[in-house]
């Protein structure tokens, strides 16, 4: 039996993880966390009967306590509660599916507790990769990527010598606006940006995909996960989302991982690694798949890609600025406080005004995040 804690169980990745677990008799969820979605959490508790749940929002935790059997499941709240879920002694693996930098401390503590990590919280590696990766090696735990692109690269590299890597080919769908001009982007609404052509994801990551900020974050994440230079990571647009990513080797061989756009594939592989199991997902039909198309991203229309590479190469605290500015700007956009094109403008402004802290500590990372958010709120709220 594999015992699992899920950080962010009511989000897109969390819900799909629950679906995967429910179809595997040798998996058991022992802990859950969410922010404030009490109704869904109550249903998950009824289904899974975990030992512990955490609602980050204290009022939500009080409400949940009145809805479930607390003699079976303890209800916690706040950061201490998240850390308790991440470090629960009975858990073998932690699915880190919390969106945003709030996931850093729980992931750090889970690693210290010797838990393997099924990793979907890219912000943790983007901002604290220099802290996380040495910890992974020190505590001898597995870091198993759940993002479809990084899972694809991980699968392509399975059994390969990493010294043979020539280039990581990180694929992107291009999002709903891949053929837009700069002028057309000025009229994009929240509703437009939430219509991803291929993937079913949460609101924040869907917006990030449309701006290509998400691909920028994935570039930084790939650098840490696979120990490659930024110049050895290339983004290619594959609009059908059939090829999830590729690796080109020094002998010119290219390995690719293909599949239907279903996040459960990457989730299940992380939970069962190195075993592969049956998944009730649509299989590719190569008798009907007559065309796989590639194109380069329009970096002039989508400057977030180059901004992300610049942040990554600058290092230190700059990736935190990129990420925090984007999180705050996306929140403002989703709440219709700013225009769509303002998202990358805000990121650019924050990066240009930042004085880099070299090799920042965890406390310094979180302080930079807070400062960036406060600066944006002063200007726009």
**Residue 381 in this model has a pLDDT that exceeds 80:** no
Taking the C-alpha atoms of residue 94 and residue 3, their distance in angstroms, rounded to an integer, is 9
φ, ψ of residue 319 to 5 degrees: the values are -60, -30
Average pLDDT of span 303-327: 97
Taking the C-alpha atoms of residue 161 and residue 246, their distance in angstroms, rounded to an integer, is 15
Output the pTM of the full model. 0.93
Taking the C-alpha atoms of residue 341 and residue 287, their distance in angstroms, rounded to an integer, is 41
pLDDT at 96: 97
Condensed to tens digits (0 to 9), the pLDDT of residues 122-166 reads 889 999 999 999 999 999 999 999 999 999 999 999 999 999 999
As annotated, the residues of the chain forming the CATH 3.40.50.720 domain(s) are: 2-145
As annotated, the residues of the chain forming the CATH 1.10.1740.10 domain(s) are: 315-381
Tokens read off for 43: 């249903």
pLDDT at 80: 97
What does R_g of the chain's alpha carbons equal in angstroms? 20
Taking the C-alpha atoms of residue 167 and residue 309, their distance in angstroms, rounded to an integer, is 15
> Which numeric CATH code is attached to 315-381?
1.10.1740.10
pLDDT at 202: 76
Task: Give the CA angle between residues 42, 20, 44 to the nearest 5°.
Answer: 5
pLDDT at 100: 82
Taking the C-alpha atoms of residue 205 and residue 52, their distance in angstroms, rounded to an integer, is 27
* Chain mean pLDDT for the chain: 95
> Which numeric CATH code is attached to 2-145?
3.40.50.720
Residue 152 class from Cβ within 10 Å (0-12 exposed, 13-18 middle, 19+ buried)? buried
Taking the C-alpha atoms of residue 97 and residue 92, their distance in angstroms, rounded to an integer, is 16
**Residue 320 in this model has a pLDDT that exceeds 80:** yes
Condensed to tens digits (0 to 9), the pLDDT of residues 62-109 reads 999 999 999 999 999 999 999 999 999 999 999 999 988 889 999 999
- Ranking 249-263, 276-290, 340-354, 357-371 by mean pLDDT, the lowest is 276-290
| First vs last C-alpha separation in the chain | 49
Give the residue carrying structure tokens 């002063």: 378
């Amino acid at each position: 039996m594999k015992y699992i804690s899920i950080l962010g169980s009511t989000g897109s990745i969390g819900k799909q993880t629950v679906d995967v677990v429910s179809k595997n008799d040798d998996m058991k969820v022992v802990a859950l966390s969410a922010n404030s979605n009490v109704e869904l959490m109550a249903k998950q508790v009824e289904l899974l009967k975990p030992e512990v749940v955490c609602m980050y929002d204290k009022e939500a935790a009080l409400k949940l306590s009145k809805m479930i059997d607390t003699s079976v499941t303890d209800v916690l709240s706040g950061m201490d509660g998240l850390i308790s879920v991440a470090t629960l002694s009975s858990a073998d693996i932690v699915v880190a599916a919390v969106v945003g930098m709030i996931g850093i401390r729980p992931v750090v503590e889970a690693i210290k507790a010797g838990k393997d990590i099924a990793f979907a919280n890219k912000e943790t590696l983007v901002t604290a990769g220099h802290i996380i990766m040495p910890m992974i090696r020190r505590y001898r735990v597995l870091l198993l990527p759940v993002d479809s692109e990084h899972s694809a690269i991980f699968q392509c590299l399975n059994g390969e010598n990493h010294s043979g890597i020539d280039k990581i080919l990180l694929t992107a769908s291009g999002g709903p606006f891949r053929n837009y001009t700069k002028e057309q982007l000025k009229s994009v609404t929240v509703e437009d940006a939430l219509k991803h052509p291929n993937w079913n994801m949460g609101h924040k990551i869907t917006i990030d995909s449309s701006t290509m900020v998400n691909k920028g974050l994935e570039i930084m994440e790939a650098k840490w996960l696979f120990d490659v230079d930024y110049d050895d990571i290339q983004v290619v647009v594959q609009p059908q989302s059939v090829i999830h990513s590729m690796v080109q080797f020094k002998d010119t061989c290219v390995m690719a991982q293909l599949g239907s756009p279903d996040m459960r594939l990457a989730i299940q592989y992380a939970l069962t690694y190195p075993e592969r199991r049956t998944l009730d997902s649509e299989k590719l039909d190569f008798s009907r798949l007559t065309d796989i198309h590639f194109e380069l991203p329009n970096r002039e229309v989508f400057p977030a890609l180059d901004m992300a590479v610049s942040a990554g190469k600058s290092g230190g605290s700059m990736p935190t600025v990129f990420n925090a500015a984007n999180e705050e700007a996306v929140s403002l956009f989703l709440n219709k406080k700013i225009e769509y094109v303002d998202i990358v403008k805000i990121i650019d402004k924050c990066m240009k005004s930042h004085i880099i802290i070299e090799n920042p500590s965890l406390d310094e990372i979180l302080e930079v995040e807070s400062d960036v958010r406060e600066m944006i709120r002063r200007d726009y709220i």
